[in-house]
Amino acid sequence: MMKKLYYKFLFIPGILGFLASNAYSAGKDRHVLMIAPATITHQSVTLLWDDIDKDVNEYTIFVNGKKVVKSSITNSKLKDLKPLTVYTVRVTGKNRQGRTITTSNLLKFTTRKKGKIINILNYGAKAGGLTLNTAAIQNAVNACEDGGIVYVPAGDFKTGALFLKSNMTLYIEKGGRLKGSIDPKDYEPFVYNRFEGWEMNTFASLINAGTMNKDGRISLENLSISGLGTISGGGERLAKAMISRNGMRSRGRLISLLNCKNVNIEGLKIEESPCWTIHYVYSSKITCQGLTISSFVENGDGIDPDSSTDSYIFNCKFWTNDDCIAIKSGKNPEGYFIAKPSQNIQITHCEFVKGHGISIGSEISGGIKNILVRHCKAGNLIFGLQIKGTKERGGFVEQVIVRDSELRKITIFSALPYNNDGAPAPMLPYFKDFEFRDLDMSKADSTGTVIYIDGFEHKNSYTRNLVFKNIQLPEHAVIDVRRSDHIIFQRVSSVKGIKPKLKIDSLSARIAME
């Protein structure tokens, strides 16, 4: 009888470690409570904690020993705090019977000093959507002191590329909108960037932070881009103009973070990018929370962490014409030898309405590891939750957890019909150590393959060590496994208990449906 394979994944604050062991954790009753990066302000903070017990129905947040707020999810924003004040917080979890069954560590923090507010109107910005306000808004940014807030009031403010700096907040008021120009000249000069895995010069983005260098030096830190307003790019018209001028790969993004640390992007409606919407490269400790992202241009990804670490994406909603999220780490020899992985990335409590997928890859050459997707809901995405690469990439994807979510498709691809130019890396990539658990896939289209798993052509690069446990499928579902080794399916069936059709090619080994 084949030995069963299980994994234990440990949540570690700030680095989200996932360490393989020989059994699932049992009886753990202590949450790991942490502060989301760059979210402490003079009056608020965002807390994150891990989900350790399915019996927890409600969380209570205690501030300085007093019950303050309740939450049904594993994050909460504390508001109405006082500046320069020390607070202690703890989280407990109750079951449906009202009994406290879990608790967290005690966390201590100090709120910030209230910063000086710089209103862009005082620097000559004019609402209405006709005046180009690039210089006025940039002057406001340049005048902002450490800890200050550049304030965008209600109204439409047309602008070209803006360049933010360390230790500041860009705040867009409800009813306020930064509207990107559709003239490519407003995004010059070019900046050194990365696109589809290669470093290159591109048009500047609408919102720019930091300068790129692959040696890892941080160029900008402690930044917040937040509010209740909108950042709207030049969309398809700008995209076509940039392509006409300098080609597909020259387009800027909507928000670009290069070698940044401690950044919070929060609360905004973000739309109409000419290319990828939010892209961060060689960056760490990035928070994306409470965003509504829509993008319908070609290559209109939502959020793309690229060779970046310790990132937290939560409470976001996506409508895109490409991947809703795409985790990347460089392409082929260049990405392989730069060797900067994307790792320790948590995606929770997000809704994916339209798009290609919740994606890892295809640029995986620097490696991708320690990824958590949990408490998410996906609509009819074209590829669902997808992990993808090509034999030319090199690199790896390992230690991925997808749990407690509603999905309609899982795809693991080793060949793709796009972004295949350039020389290959010196070795084949590999996929290994994935856990898919407690998933509702009952709304999947059973006329096609619901779960597709493929590996690379050499046996050492087969996809291996995958566990699928407690997966609810539609009736007559099909699972297709190719070039894979050691794949376990436990309690994978329809609501009525009907097992899926399992197709296994002749190259795969140790595939078990239990």
Q: pTM value?
A: 0.95
Q: Tokens standing for 153?
A: 């009031």
- The predicted-structure confidence for 363-413, as pLDDT tens digits, reads as follows 999 999 999 999 999 999 999 999 999 999 999 999 999 999 999 999 999
- The predicted-structure confidence for 179-225, as pLDDT tens digits, reads as follows 999 999 999 999 999 999 999 999 999 999 999 999 989 999 999 99
Q: Check whether 2 has a pLDDT greater than 60.
A: no
The β-bridge relationship of strands 284-289 and 309-314 is: parallel
Q: Which fold has domain 327-514?
A: Pectate Lyase C-like (2.160.20)
Superfamily (CATH) of domain 115-322 = Single-stranded right-handed beta-helix, Pectin lyase-like (2.160.20.10)
Rounded Cα distance, 17 and 372, in Å: 10
Parse the chain into domains and list their residue ranges.
Answer: 30-110, 115-322, 327-514
Asked if the peptide bond before residue 189 counts as cis, ω within 30 degrees of 0, the response is yes
Q: Check whether 157 has a pLDDT greater than 50.
A: yes
Q: Check whether 4 has a pLDDT greater than 50.
A: no
Rounded Cα distance, 273 and 264, in Å: 19
Q: Check whether 101 has a pLDDT greater than 90.
A: yes
Q: Check whether 1 has a pLDDT greater than 60.
A: no
Helix count and strand count (H, E) for the chain:
3, 45
- The predicted-structure confidence for 460-470, as pLDDT tens digits, reads as follows 999 999 999 99
By CB neighbour count within 10 A (0-12 exposed, 13-18 middle, 19+ buried), where does 174 fall? exposed
Confidence band for 292, pLDDT divided at 50, 70 and 90: very high
- The predicted-structure confidence for 235-275, as pLDDT tens digits, reads as follows 999 999 999 999 999 999 999 999 999 999 999 999 999 99
- Report in angstroms the alpha-carbon separations of 216 from 17, 198, 280, 308, 318: 21, 16, 13, 10, 30
Rounded Cα distance, 384 and 141, in Å: 40
Same fold, 115-322 and 327-514: yes
The predicted pLDDT at position 28 comes to 66
Rounded Cα distance, 200 and 202, in Å: 6
Superfamily (CATH) of domain 30-110 = Immunoglobulins (2.60.40.10)
Query: What residues pair up with 468 in beta bridges, in sequence order?
Result: 436, 489
Confidence band for 6, pLDDT divided at 50, 70 and 90: very low
Are the beta carbons of 280 and 325 closer than 8 angstroms? no
Confidence band for 21, pLDDT divided at 50, 70 and 90: very low
The predicted pLDDT at position 29 comes to 74
SS3 122: helix
Task: Give the HSE-up count for residue 225: Cα atoms under 13 Å, Cβ half-sphere.
Answer: 29
Rounded Cα distance, 205 and 186, in Å: 10
- The predicted-structure confidence for 425-465, as pLDDT tens digits, reads as follows 999 999 999 999 999 999 999 999 999 999 999 999 999 99
Q: Check whether 492 has a pLDDT greater than 80.
A: yes
The predicted pLDDT at position 214 comes to 93
First CA to last CA across the chain, in angstroms?
Answer: 12
Q: Check whether 356 has a pLDDT greater than 80.
A: yes
